[in-house]
Amino acid sequence: GESVGLHLPTLSVQEGDNSIINCAYSNSASDYFIWYKQESGKGPQFIIDIRSNMDKRQGQRVTVLLNKTVKHLSLQIAATQPGDSAVYFCAESLDGGSYIPTFGRGTSLIVHP
């Protein structure tokens, strides 16, 4: 589906700080969630995913938290680096569907050296 919005939300952080990017998803039946990173002029790149039977999953420098009660997903990036500057998208999908995720509107992360 299409994300709607005229301007992307922006998060500005200093290099070395921790970043938290939030996403509110729409369908309470969704049970699979993905975070993508899109650098300028490139295609989205898979970062991390989580299924609804979990509330936390950790990767390298990234952690995804899932709160099904309030339909909220967050991506935490530890010790943010300039190379983390990008647009971050969350996506949701549900069992019994066609495995086509619904993408959120995206958040632009700007890391200042």
Partner 1 sequence: SQTIHQWPATLVQPVGSPLSLECTVEGTSNPNLYWYRQAAGRGLQLLFYSVGIGQISSEVSQNLSASRPQDRQFILSSKKLLLSDSGFYLCAWNLGASRLQETQYFGPGTRLLVL
Residues at the contact surface with partner 1, assessed by CB under 8 A: 1-8, 32, 34, 36, 41-46, 49, 89, 91, 93, 95, 98-101, 103-106
Judged by CB, which is closer to partner 1: 10, or 18? 10
Q: C-beta of 57: minimal distance to partner 1 in Å? A: 14
Q: C-beta of 16: minimal distance to partner 1 in Å? A: 27
Stated length of the chain: 113
14: helix, coil or strand? Answer: strand
Whether 44 and 105 have beta carbons less than 8 Å apart is answered as: no
